[in-house]
Amino acid sequence: MGLRRLALAFLVMGLSCSISQIILVRELLTIFYGNEFILGLIFSNWLLGIALGSWLLGRFSDKLRGVRWLAFTFSLISIILPLQIIFTRSLSWWLIPVRGEIMSPFSAFYLSFLTLIPFCSLHGLQFALGCRVLAGEMGGKGSSIGVVYVLDALGAVFGGLTFTYLLVNNLNILEVCSLLGLLNLLTAWLILDIQSSPSSRSMRFIILASIIIGAYGVIQGAPRRMDEASYRWLWRGLDLVHYENSPYGNICVTRYGDQTDFWINGLPLFTLPNPDLAYIEDIVHLPLLQHPSPERVLIIGEGLGGALREALKHPVGRLVYVELDPRIVELSRGFSREASSVLMDPRVEVIHYDGRLYSKEASSLYDVIIVNLPPPSTLQLNRFYTLEFFNEVRRLLGVRGILSVVLPSSQAYISEEMADRNRCIYNAIKMAFPSILALPGDYNMILASPSREEGFLTSDVEVLYERLMDRGLATRVVNKMYLEYKFSPERASIGLAYLSQGREEVNRDARPVAVYHDLALWNAMMHPTLRGLFTAIKGFDPRWLLLPLIISILILAVCRGKVRALHRPIYLAVITNGFTGMTFSIINLYSFQTLCGSLYQEIGVMTSSFMLGLAIGGWCTGLNISRGGRGLSAMISAMIRIKVGIVIFSLILPLIMDLLISKAAQPIIILKAILPILNWASGLLIGLMFPLAGMVCLEGGRHIGRVAGALNASDLIGGCAGSLASSVWLIPLNGIHGACHVVAALNAASLLPLLGVIWGRGT
């Protein structure tokens, strides 16, 4: 009975960690307006916090009275999680004087660390305590580390799927936290019965009373009222008129005077009525005036802030607007008469689909395609600025079709970072289209066409003005003088000279270099003193990472037969395992996002497939150990074989991704099956290692809690480094191939010391 209750407790531990991670990461992204760099910082702090809890607090786990302290951690988590949510939302009171203001990376780093450390360190202690308690119930067996690892991973699988497909669409965040808290209290109440004592009985009574009070509060709607109040703290200074969670993100609608603002995950989406008339008229009228008869128009990106309204002033017969989230359109109808009247126009067709997928699958031809999206500050946005996307869009354009893309720029000063970002996108457009016309300004408008007809994309103001007058366009900014200003040859030669200078980088799906340049630009604005660091990272050749492999080979050659140290090679293998697992996971997530569309709704499947792989890998290893493979040399040999398998998989994975990208036109359902399987295989390889490392390091079963904590910390520190390196540097600058080759080199380097241990022991 005791083992069953502990097994249930470890499943709940993994489930709580998984759901809490999703909730806290979403809340912090709303505060910090996150891109992949911020996401990498948050994930790194999450892993670092658990690692510190496993290592620092886990050192004392062998001295604690296991079951009571384990129950206490479950009870404490039920209180800490909702308090952390409220604290996170209250950060806006003193951190963000103006809503929408971007926070510096350093502020995001230390504030997310302070926010996450209570829960994460407690979860790290739980892991070490759990291994200690389970070992006591199993008669001191060191295999308890592998058992807790597997059950924790299985719980994470259930947690990710439950939150994504059941909780997030039906409950608000504090309601989810309340139910999770009750589950943790119930778990604490159950496991306290394993070791009955007067103090345990008193603790059970207190926990039972807490469960009854908490359940009554949930029934009376206390979490919902607190959630509404905390959201109003978050949006202080603005009139929050609506908020909800859709399958694609958190949507908020605010009012300030006569202005209605729509936000998604804390980021501004559009404003009604839009105050930036010059921008709206530019992005719509300039490309439409280039076409002699724009009858079929496609808008990818934001259209409700005025783009649809302006496009309908032209003699279009069909205006297609691609918007992934149907709730955005429904809320716009309810909160804006202008948006409602535009959407009721019979010429407007709204398609609720991912814009990148639509560009792959659509069969209709368009005269003009307008891409109205933010710059490629994230890997998700970068999908709309790559060579592959421009080739897909070209297929949708008729022979005389026109594509319009807008990139933020400057009329006063073009920094090196801005030039690098815009240039690599411009080069991608040049490779896809034979005809290009670029316009300078506070944003560079790049017009491209498959037409090779000379003068089809024209700078002739008389032609453009004649079309303006013939169509009877009622514009407030675009007129003849404005056209003369925008299409001035002298202005273009000066403002666009940087696009033809510098390196011939091309932004691609498999090498999203524009993301790195946009991150460097953001850093240059927020922390100009760190520009040198980003320049050094950009110039760093990943082949230098072969140096650890070369050093390991030399040491092995010189010291063969003399290497007897055991723990250091094991911990090194676990650290590189953590680094590898996060890198594989991010590669698979990014590939899913690129090939299958929005990841938000499917992230539960992808993360759960990885965690399921971890669980099955750990279970397979534990099964082999229980069948007699307990010899130290046998276990180290098994670790060596696993490392060889990881190296081989690292070399095969980029080839598979190349094949999937080149065959991206195949049915999405096939891709949605293949990519989770690849993520599962990645987790399987990583999961095989941890139980073996635990058995090898225990040396007879002593200090189980301390060893479990140190191993868990090593795995998480490696994951922390992998999260940052792969999302910010390896994938953007070196592509999927470069990232996988770095992983292969690091695992080969960590494999060699294990060989040294085998040879040093004379086997």
Q: Please spell the DSSP secondary structure of 243-310, one letter per residue.
A: EEEETTEEEEEEEETTEEEEEETTEEEEEES-S-HHHHHHHHHHHHHHSS---EEEEEE--TTTHHHH
Residue 535: inside a domain: no
Boundary (domain end) residue, out of 520, 549, 584: 520
Q: Which residues form the domain of 261?
A: 239-269
Q: What total of structural domains would you count in the chain?
A: 4
Instruction: Report the pLDDT value the prediction gives residue 699, as an integer from 0 to 100.
Output: 60
Residue 480: inside a domain: yes
Boundary (domain end) residue, out of 488, 520, 552: 520
247-272 in b/e burial notation, b at 16+ Cβ within 10 A? bbbbbbbbeeeeebbbbbbbebbbbb
Which residues does the chain have with pLDDT short of 50? 97, 561-564, 700, 763
Residue 164: inside a domain: yes
Query: Do 287 and 183 share a structural domain?
Result: no
Q: Please give the Cα distance from 635 to 387 (Å, whole number).
A: 47
Instruction: Report the pLDDT value the prediction gives residue 421, as an integer from 0 to 100.
Output: 95
Query: Do 361 and 263 share a structural domain?
Result: no
Instruction: Report the pLDDT value the prediction gives residue 43, as an integer from 0 to 100.
Output: 80
Residue 530: inside a domain: no
Identify the bridge partners of residue 243 per DSSP, sorted by sequence position: 252
Q: Report the CATH number that the domain containing residue 169 is assigned in CATH.
A: 1.20.1250
| Token reading at 711 | 């191993």
Query: Do 651 and 556 share a structural domain?
Result: yes
82-109 in b/e burial notation, b at 16+ Cβ within 10 A? bebbbebbebbeeebeebeeebebeebb
Query: Do 572 and 471 share a structural domain?
Result: no
Q: Please give the Cα distance from 446 to 344 (Å, whole number).
A: 31
Query: Do 224 and 181 share a structural domain?
Result: yes
Q: How far is CA 352 from the centre of its chain?
A: 22
User: 81: which residues sit within 8 A by CB, 6+ positions away?
Assistant: 16, 20, 23, 119, 177, 180, 181
Residue 525: inside a domain: no
Query: Do 646 and 621 share a structural domain?
Result: yes
Q: Please spell the DSSP secondary structure of 731-749, one letter per residue.
A: HHHHHHHHHHHHHHHHHHH
Query: Do 653 and 761 share a structural domain?
Result: yes
Residue 534: inside a domain: no
Q: How far is CA 252 from the centre of its chain?
A: 21
Residue 696: inside a domain: yes
Q: Are 675 and 591 in contact (CB under 8 A)?
A: yes
Q: Report the CATH number that the domain containing residue 506 is assigned in CATH.
A: 3.40.50.150
Query: Do 422 and 446 share a structural domain?
Result: yes
Q: Please give the Cα distance from 181 to 218 (Å, whole number).
A: 11
Of the CA atoms within 13 Å of residue 190, those in its CB half-sphere come to 18
Query: Do 444 and 547 share a structural domain?
Result: no
Query: Do 263 and 229 share a structural domain?
Result: no
User: Which of the 8 DSSP states describes residue 163?
Assistant: I
What DSSP element (H or E) covers 642?
A: helix 632-662
How confident is the model over 452-494, as pLDDT tens digits? Answer: 888 899 999 999 999 999 999 989 899 999 999 999 988 888 8
Query: Do 144 and 14 share a structural domain?
Result: yes
Instruction: Count how many residues are written for the chain.
Output: 763
Calculate Rg over the CA atoms of the chain.
28
Query: Do 343 and 200 share a structural domain?
Result: no
Q: Please give the Cα distance from 295 to 272 (Å, whole number).
A: 26
Boundary (domain end) residue, out of 235, 258, 286: 235
Q: Are 48 and 113 in contact (CB under 8 A)?
A: yes
| Token reading at 496 | 């666009």
Identify the bridge partners of residue 253 per DSSP, sorted by sequence position: 242, 262
Instruction: Report the pLDDT value the prediction gives residue 282, as an integer from 0 to 100.
Output: 93
Q: Please give the Cα distance from 497 to 477 (Å, whole number).
A: 26
Residue 526: inside a domain: no
